[in-house]
Chains A and B, each alone.
Chain A
């Protein structure tokens, strides 16, 4: 019932009659993704002419240098960016849909900080630096932070307004971040090992790293598919959703689980990357309207495009050195957040 949903009071956006037809939007996004992947293979510290890159990619092993560059560096990092991007985009869409809060974003709500805290503690306890050892601490940290921020925002009277939730997330992220830095400073070795990880980067990640987290991302995406229809009902308000036969408690548990899985896994492999979960669902709603059965799959396709483009930018912005992709996404995402609060009454309680 997309029509009813979009008209729902308190829905994520005011009624938007029509968006692009879904096939057109999906085709456009797929094309954009292809372009982004091509850019990610071609552009970098050592520019590789497109014909050489693609010749190497499609089995021409004669060009050793291009082969090495593509298969050892560019392709793994591209695939990691796609997976992490899809996870973060879907997580953002899920949490915005469930909380009916257009400002919700795993980074703003402190979920990334929770995952980072889990990883730091694991490091401090002497676990190895491999991604497989980081997954579980990151998942637990992300899950705990998600539950904590939702609880904190829902204490007391009335619904958890977007502002309450954002503030709760900021406060939580501040505390967790402070403790995380404290742990790192008291143990120089941990600090050194986490320095490259903490800014959020897909550089130097291998497919083996991705394989360690892929099952969790897959599980999170599968849960998201199950949640598409119930979340549309939740958009009508919890009471109406319950009267439509949706078990709101189950939806809550499943959403939190899915968000924790997706964010925890993405953070374990790529470090905390902010604002993807905020921007992408907004862009998708502009394209296809408010129906979650459309927005969430679209986010899975659109987020990798943004992460890839941010990653390509991060390679060329500084001479001789790469910028963490998390810095670039903050630069793209923060103006989007300001635009969101300026353009609508999102800040109003």
Chain B
């Protein structure tokens, strides 16, 4: 148990074990989820209204129910709706994956962006685009393989307590640097037109999202969200009680960690395969969700809802915040998420917990 003890010493906002773990659905957590989802719906409505042609909410509703003229139907349903839905669902997936990783590493910074999984998925995807071709399934397979390879590497490196707590974070930073070097290598060794596709993909963008292209990813992602949420929720709450308590209550903590990491990698790989690596949503969303819900532990549901809101808002801002420019959502999240990370570090410094 020394590993747990050591890990806990590194925890920024220590999840107090057991405070609320017995309540399956706390009222506050449910209300938080409802409020976050309502906000996400409002942001998505704005995303459906705004653009080159601006529609009123009534017109959007008419278009959604198939009662609008052809142009409105084309803009709202064909073009804007897939993007808005994708932003919300992918955001939820990233938020949930972040909650899983942070819960497993017992480290608020142990998000997939920082420990290198996102970089692994991204390098895997770019490798496939550059070396094989940009078919959607192949890219997804590459992203999945890259994510799992990095996950295996991290597990190997942290064997025997070699890397625990913040050393995991530092090792992740090193891995990310190496993987982005690998990506540059692939992009440079490919032909120019392929390199451009790969480079664009690696910024993380929802541009050109359509149901024919992202449909399978959306279905698979929603299924994974449900499976993970219902299948792992209890195990994660038990893990928050500590390894011993979890084992005593019938959930092998090692198995929980393995399942959670696998689920997290799959969630991230699905999102990364279609949208490219979108940074820092998986870091920030669980913090927001956990704080709003007043939850002590993993809080998977509020994290997912917060992720949906964060990504939907970031994509809206990227498209419309600066008139005349449309930025990939990955840029918005990296800038905003980085500022969030800075404030997080400053706050934890002030508390002296780092």
Contacts and interface: CB of A to CB of B under 8 A. Distances in A.
Contact of A171 (B166, B189, B331, B341): B341
Q: Which of B185, B203, B280, B341 has the most CB of A within 10 A?
A: B185
Interface in A165-218: 166-168, 170-172, 174-175, 177-179, 181-182, 185-186, 199
A347 interface: yes
A335 interface: yes
A171 B338 contact: yes
Contacts, number: 149
Contacts of A274: 177
Interface of A, helix, strand, loop or mixed by DSSP: helix
B250 interface: no
A333 interface: yes
Interface string B338-354: 11011001100111101
Interface size class of B (residues with CB under 8 A): 35 or more
B170 interface: yes
Contacts of A166: 169-170, 173
Interface residues of A, number: 51
A163 B331 contact: no
Nearest to B346: A155
A331 B181 contact: yes
A156 B178 contact: no
A326 interface: yes
A156 B350 contact: yes
Contacts of B325: 186
Contacts of A98: none
Contacts of B354: 161, 163-164, 167, 349
B167 A342 contact: yes
A126 interface: no
A346 B171 CA distance: 11
A289 to B, nearest CB: 25
Contacts of B184: 199, 323-324, 327
A167 B180 contact: no
Interface stretch (B33-41, B144-152, B157-165, B231-239): B157-165
B114 interface: yes
B220 interface: no
Contact of A318 (B166, B169, B173, B185): B185
Interface centre among A164, A178, A327 (most CB of B within 10 A): A178
Contact of B352 (A108, A156, A172, A346): A156
Given A157-B349, A164-B354, A333-B177, 17 more contacts: A155-B346, A156-B351, A157-B351, A158-B352, A166-B170, A167-B169, A171-B338, A171-B345, A172-B338, A178-B331, A318-B185, A318-B189, A331-B181, A338-B157, A338-B170, A342-B157, A342-B167
18 contacts: A103-B170, A156-B351, A157-B352, A166-B169, A167-B345, A171-B338, A171-B341, A172-B342, A174-B337, A174-B338, A178-B338, A182-B327, A185-B327, A326-B181, A327-B185, A330-B180, A342-B171, A348-B167
Interface of A: 103, 107-108, 152-153, 155-158, 161, 163-164, 166-168, 170-172, 174-175, 177-179, 181-182, 185-186, 199, 274-275, 317-318, 321, 323-324, 326-328, 330-331, 333-335, 337-338, 341-342, 346-349
Nearest 4 A/B pairs, CB to CB: A347-B167, A175-B338, A157-B352, A174-B338
